[in-house]
């Protein structure tokens, strides 16, 4: 889990930057007659960011499970080799 910490930190940095950029864009779009208010777009962006964070957590959990299974497979292969000798 400690190995995933640097990865988790970088997307959070980018999402703040993206959010600021998107907020500026949505304000500009509203001033030119966009049909959606900027607060609606900002809420949608925040909702998508929360969903993305959940998906990243799930991905990290699945990656950890995969690593654990691969370690177990390696240990079992070693045991099989020892038993075969």
Question: What's residue 1's pLDDT?
Answer: 45
Q: Please indicate, yes or no, if residue 52 is contained in any of the structural domains.
A: yes
The four Cα atoms 65, 67, 72, 74 give a dihedral, to 10 degrees, of 160
Question: What's residue 17's pLDDT?
Answer: 53
Alpha helices (runs of H) in the chain, residue ranges in sequence order: 5-31, 38-84
Q: Is 2 helix (H, G, I), strand (E, B) or coil?
A: helix
Phi and psi angles of residue 37, each rounded to the nearest 5 degrees, phi first = -65, 150
Question: What's residue 37's pLDDT?
Answer: 82
Q: Please indicate, yes or no, if residue 2 is contained in any of the structural domains.
A: no
What is the model's pTM? 0.51
Question: What's residue 12's pLDDT?
Answer: 53
Take residue 85 and report the two structure tokens written for it: 């000798």
Q: Please indicate, yes or no, if residue 19 is contained in any of the structural domains.
A: no
Query: Looking at the 3D structure of the chain, how many domains does it have?
Result: 1
Q: Please indicate, yes or no, if residue 44 is contained in any of the structural domains.
A: yes
- Residue-number span of the structural domain to which 46 is assigned: 37-84
Q: Please indicate, yes or no, if residue 10 is contained in any of the structural domains.
A: no
Name residues of the chain where pLDDT drops below 50.
1-9
Question: What's residue 25's pLDDT?
Answer: 54
Q: Please indicate, yes or no, if residue 69 is contained in any of the structural domains.
A: yes
């Amino acid at each position: 889990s400690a190995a995933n910490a640097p990865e988790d930190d970088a997307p959070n940095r980018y999402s703040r930057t993206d959010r600021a950029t998107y907020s500026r864009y949505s304000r500009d779009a509203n001033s030119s007659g966009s049909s959606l208010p900027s607060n609606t777009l900002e809420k949608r962006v925040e909702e998508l960011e929360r969903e993305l964070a959940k998906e990243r957590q799930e991905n990290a959990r699945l990656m950890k499970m995969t690593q654990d299974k691969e370690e177990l497979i390696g240990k079992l292969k070693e045991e099989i080799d020892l038993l075969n000798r």
